[in-house]
Amino acid sequence: MEKSDLLQQLRIDRSEPVARSRGPLAWIGIVVAVLVLAALGAGGWWLLSGGKAFEIETAIAAAPAAGDAGSTAVLQATGYVTARRQATVSAQITGAIIDEHVEEGEHVEAGQVLAHLDSTAQRAALAQANAQLRVAQAQLAQFQAQLAQSQRDLVRADDLVGRKLVSRQSAEVARTQVATQQSQLESQRKQVDLVRAGVQGAQVQLDYCTVRAPFKGVIIAKSAQVGEIVSPFSAGGGFTRTGIGTIVDMDSLEVEVDVNESYINRVVAKQPTEAVLDAYPDWKIPGHVIAIIPTADRSKATVKVRIALDQKDPRIVPDMGVRVSFLEEANKPGTQAVALPKGVLVPAGSLVQRDGKSAVFVVDGEKARLRAVTPGQNVGDLRLVEGIATGTRIVRAPPAEMSDGARVQIKK
């Protein structure tokens, strides 16, 4: 083969495209880019679709009370469970706590010891008062002995005067001595009474070092610890406690509700009622009106009404939210009962407008789901709606920017 032919074979033919193969590094770069783009897209979707958690308060949708047989609800109002008998127990003197028997939730009896204060000074004062009493009693015995001797001397002096062996003056001196010692004896008796009263006062001060329960109840708060100083008087600086614990008489629980003054004419004393706790929306507690407080709240245009609970139960605790239905007999002459429409009661502030329709946000785990409802009439601070079931947990006051599927976190 000629040399020119060999050179012709070695020449590169550029008329055909050269296929380049992709190395492994090129493929890794492409995969990383795709993953980054996906992460950015997911993050943007998370922010736009409710990544922000709204702190919310919730409420329970409750069915309106229909009343007992032959009765109808003429009015509903909301309020709270309150304790008529509640006390923050404190010491009557200032002192340091050396031991304590107070725990939240503990049941105590009237007179039960709750704490002891340091009583060193009080015990010393009591010992001193007892010593002074013994001295006064010894002096009293001395005066009694002297008086007895003077009385015997007076008898002898009178006998001698009668026999004219001594002058009448001797008998008068003996009689004066008896009268003087009688006065001293009476004075010493008063002194003994005074010292004995001092002993009683010292004993009272010592008893003040033992703090006891004023009545039967349940401890709901513990305010002081061992080593802290308690005082019945408020002291600055935060180093002195004014109470040891708070006791509530659970038998004195009642309900206080605020009734719009426009409807207070529907409420009368001893009127039957039906209470529903927010925590137990399906549990209806019978009761009756105790009293209508004869004053109105100017800012809220409401009148406070006290309601007695006819059934006591450990599930009822102070400060629980409650809804009360005031009942009226349907066949009572001259009355017209107001029947409540179908639906459930929710706070009026829980309703929102979305796309021109009324809706509420239902709490579903950590999400808020938008549910369309049909609103009805107002019942106090509540609103009757149809579209959700009794017992549904909803957002009490949803923010304007909340949307369907937004993340929520219940306030504690």
Give the whole-number percent of the chain exceeding pLDDT 70.
80
Burial of 387 (0-12, 13-18, 19+ CB in 10 A): middle
Reply yes or no on whether the pLDDT at 334 is more than 70. no
Segment 223-226 long-range contacts (CB within 8 Å, at least 24 positions apart): 223/88, 224/97, 224/100, 224/115, 225/97, 225/100, 226/97, 226/98, 226/99, 226/100
User: Given this model, what pLDDT does residue 42 score?
Assistant: 53
Among 245-254, 362-371, 379-388, which stretch is predicted with the lowest mean pLDDT? 379-388
Reply yes or no on whether the pLDDT at 93 is more than 60. yes
- pTM of the predicted model as reported, rounded to 2 decimal places: 0.54
Reply yes or no on whether the pLDDT at 200 is more than 60. yes
Give the residue-averaged pLDDT of 266-275. Answer: 91
Q: Which amino acid is at 255?
A: V
Name which of 369, 356, 365 is nearest 404 in CA terms: 369
pLDDT band with cut points at 50, 70 and 90 for residue 24: low
User: Given this model, what pLDDT does residue 339 score?
Assistant: 52
pLDDT, averaged across the chain = 82
Taking the C-alpha atoms of residue 333 and residue 141, their distance in angstroms, rounded to an integer, is 84
Among 69-73, 190-194, 265-269, which stretch is predicted with the lowest mean pLDDT? 69-73
Reply yes or no on whether the pLDDT at 284 is more than 80. yes
Q: Which amino acid is at 110?
A: A
Reply yes or no on whether the pLDDT at 69 is more than 60. no
User: Given this model, what pLDDT does residue 126 score?
Assistant: 94
pLDDT band with cut points at 50, 70 and 90 for residue 192: very high
User: Given this model, what pLDDT does residue 170 score?
Assistant: 81
Segment 117-155, tens digit of pLDDT? 999 999 999 999 999 999 999 999 998 998 898 888 888
Give the whole-number percent of the chain exceeding pLDDT 90.
38
User: Given this model, what pLDDT does residue 237 score?
Assistant: 53
Reply yes or no on whether the pLDDT at 329 is more than 60. no
User: Strand (E) positions, 2-83?
Assistant: 53-56, 58-60, 71-83
According to DSSP, residue 350 is labeled G
User: Given this model, what pLDDT does residue 235 score?
Assistant: 55
pLDDT band with cut points at 50, 70 and 90 for residue 70: very low
User: Given this model, what pLDDT does residue 48 score?
Assistant: 47
pLDDT band with cut points at 50, 70 and 90 for residue 412: low
pLDDT band with cut points at 50, 70 and 90 for residue 332: low
pLDDT band with cut points at 50, 70 and 90 for residue 21: very low
Among 26-40, 70-84, 111-125, which stretch is predicted with the lowest mean pLDDT? 26-40
pLDDT band with cut points at 50, 70 and 90 for residue 50: very low
Q: Which amino acid is at 77?
A: A
Q: Using DSSP, state whether 115 is helix, strand or coil.
A: strand
Name which of 270, 348, 255, 262 is nearest 303 in CA terms: 262
pLDDT band with cut points at 50, 70 and 90 for residue 2: low
Segment 153-190, tens digit of pLDDT? 888 888 887 887 777 888 888 889 889 989 999 999 99
pLDDT band with cut points at 50, 70 and 90 for residue 219: very high
Give the residue-averaged pLDDT of 370-377. Answer: 88
Reply yes or no on whether the pLDDT at 241 is more than 70. yes
